[in-house]
Chain A
C-alpha cells in the first residue's frame, strides 16, 4: 500500500517546492500581468511577490523590450509550443544581481529562459509560465563575462 500523507499536505509540498526550487518561476496572463512570482525571483530580483503580482511585466521591468517579448511569446499562445531565450541571444531577461557579491564572476546573472504554455482543463492557453535558470557558470566557462 502507498503510504502518502493527506492530499492537502501533498499540495503543501508542491507549493513549498515551487517557492524554494533553484529556478525562477513566473506565471503571466495574456496581458502579461504577473500571476505567480516564486521565491527565486524574489531573492534574485529584489522584488517582493506583493510588488510584482497583478502588475504588468513591462511596468516592473521597463528594460524588457515589449515588442520583442511579445514576438517571443507568440508561438506559445498560437502554437502551444515552448519558446526559448538563451543567454547567448540576450544575457538576461530580468536584471538580477549576481548570487555571490564578494567573489563574483559576473556583474549580473546570465539567464536561460523558457516560455511554456499552460493549458486550462478545456485545452485553451490563457497563460504561460517562465522558467528562469541561472546560466552564469556556463557563460563564465565560455569566457563571455569579461570578468
Chain B
C-alpha cells in the first residue's frame, strides 16, 4: 500500500532535530507529493512522511503524531473529504491544509466545514503556502541550529506528470461548469493512457455502457500541439439535464442542442486553459461539431477512425451533484504532438538535485 520501496533518491531537503516539525503529505500523485515536499521552506524544519491516499494517511496518523498535514481531495481508496471526516470522528489533533485542484467554491466550503484549517489551490503558489504556514506554525523563539535529516522523494514517471497536470486541468473545467450552471460537480480521478485505435474504441464502448449517447467533438491546437476533445452524454443524462435546466417541451430539440454545445464548449475550453497554464501554451479550440444526438455508440466509433496510430488520452467523467447527469470527456493528443507536449511539461520532470 505504501510505495516507499520505489523511492530511491535522497535529498537534504529539511532540517530535523532538535526542533523538527512532523509533517504528513497525502496525495495520490507522486508529482504533487514531490512538489509539496520541495515547497516547504527549510526553516520550517519539516520531518516529512508521505501517504498515497486517505486510508494510508489514517494509518500513519495512528502510528505517529503529526503537527501538520497537507491533504489532496481527489484520491482513490479514501478521498480527502472522507479523510477529514475520519480525522474529526477520531478526534485527531492536527492542522490540515487541503491542497487541491478542485477549486469550486463549494469544495472549499465543504472542507472548511470538515475542519480543514486552510485551502490552497493547485498548482501551488508559494506565497499562498507561506501565508498559511505563518498562520498555522508558531515561529521558533530564536534562530535554531538544525541538523539536516533526509527525506526520500518519489521518483517521477512521465505518466505521473500527465496525471497531475490533468488533475489540475480537470479541476478548472469542473469549476467552470459549477459556476456557469451553479451546481456542484463531483471530481473524478482522471485516467491517462496511450491508446491504440482499437483500445480507444473499447474505452468508448465502456463509457457508453449500452446506453445511447449524444456526442460533440471539438478540435484544438496551440503551438503545434494538436488534438481533439470528445464529449459524450448518455441519453439517461440528457433527460435529467432537461429537467435540471428546465428545457421547455415545445422547443426541446433546439434547446437541447444548444445546451449540449455549451456544456461541451465550457468543459473543453476550461480544461485547455488549465492545461495551457501549466505548459505555457495558449490553446484554441475550434467550433464544436455535433457527431449525433441519441445515437448508438457504434456510430460514434465509426467517426473515430481518423489517421492516427496512437493517441494519448485523458479520460474524465464528471457527475453533477444531486442528479444522475454524467458527462464523459476524452482529450486525445495524437502521435506527433506527444514529444512537443513532453517538451513543454519537461520543467516538471526536472531534478535540480
A and B co-occur in one complex: yes
Binding site for B on A (CB under 8 A): 74-75, 78-84, 86, 88-89, 112, 114
Q: Does A86 contact B265, Cβ atoms closer than 8 Å?
A: no
Q: Does A82 contact B269, Cβ atoms closer than 8 Å?
A: yes
Shortest 4 CB-CB distances between A and B: which pairs?
A81-B269, A84-B287, A79-B176, A79-B270
Given that A74-B180, A84-B288, A89-B261 are contacting pairs, would A79 and B266 also be in contact in the complex, using a CB cutoff of 8 Å? yes
User: A88's contact among B179, B268, B272, B290, by CB below 8 Å, is which?
Assistant: B290
CB distance from B139 to the nearest CB of A (A): 35
Starting from the known contacts A75-B269, A82-B284, 18 additional A-B residue pairs (CB-CB under 8 Å) come to A75-B262, A78-B180, A79-B266, A79-B273, A81-B268, A81-B270, A81-B285, A82-B265, A82-B285, A83-B269, A84-B261, A84-B287, A86-B261, A86-B287, A88-B257, A89-B254, A89-B257, A89-B258
Q: Which residues of B264-313 are within 8 A (CB) of A?
A: 265-266, 268-270, 272-273, 284-285, 287-288, 290
CB distance from A35 to the nearest CB of B (A): 22
Which of chain B's residues has its CB closest to A90's CB?
Answer: B258
CB distance from B185 to the nearest CB of A (A): 14
Total A-B Cβ pairs within 8 A:
46
Which of chain B's residues has its CB closest to A76's CB?
Answer: B269
**B-side contacts of A82, CB under 8 Å:** 265, 269, 284-285
CB distance from A74 to the nearest CB of B (A): 7
* Cα distance A79–B103 in the bound complex, in angstroms: 13
CB distance from A42 to the nearest CB of B (A): 24
Q: Does B265 contact A81, Cβ atoms closer than 8 Å?
A: yes
Which of chain A's residues has its CB closest to B289's CB?
Answer: A86
* Cα distance A83–B33 in the bound complex, in angstroms: 36
CB distance from B201 to the nearest CB of A (A): 27
* Cα distance A114–B265 in the bound complex, in angstroms: 11
* Cα distance A81–B3 in the bound complex, in angstroms: 39
Q: Does B179 contact A78, Cβ atoms closer than 8 Å?
A: yes
CB distance from A37 to the nearest CB of B (A): 23
**B-side contacts of A89, CB under 8 Å:** 254, 257-258, 261
**B-side contacts of A114, CB under 8 Å:** 287
Which of chain B's residues has its CB closest to A78's CB?
Answer: B179
Which of chain A's residues has its CB closest to B261's CB?
Answer: A89
Q: 1/0 per residue B230-273: CB within 8 Å of A?
A: 00000000000000000000000010011001100110111011
Which among A82, A83, A86 has the highest number of chain B CB atoms within 10 Å? A82
Q: Does A81 contact B273, Cβ atoms closer than 8 Å?
A: yes
* Cα distance A86–B262 in the bound complex, in angstroms: 11
**A-side contacts of B272, CB under 8 Å:** 81
Which among A83, A84, A86, A114 has the highest number of chain B CB atoms within 10 Å? A84
Q: Does A75 contact B265, Cβ atoms closer than 8 Å?
A: yes
CB distance from A113 to the nearest CB of B (A): 9
* Cα distance A114–B179 in the bound complex, in angstroms: 22
CB distance from A90 to the nearest CB of B (A): 8
* Cα distance A81–B262 in the bound complex, in angstroms: 12
Q: Does A86 contact B266, Cβ atoms closer than 8 Å?
A: no
* Cα distance A75–B180 in the bound complex, in angstroms: 8
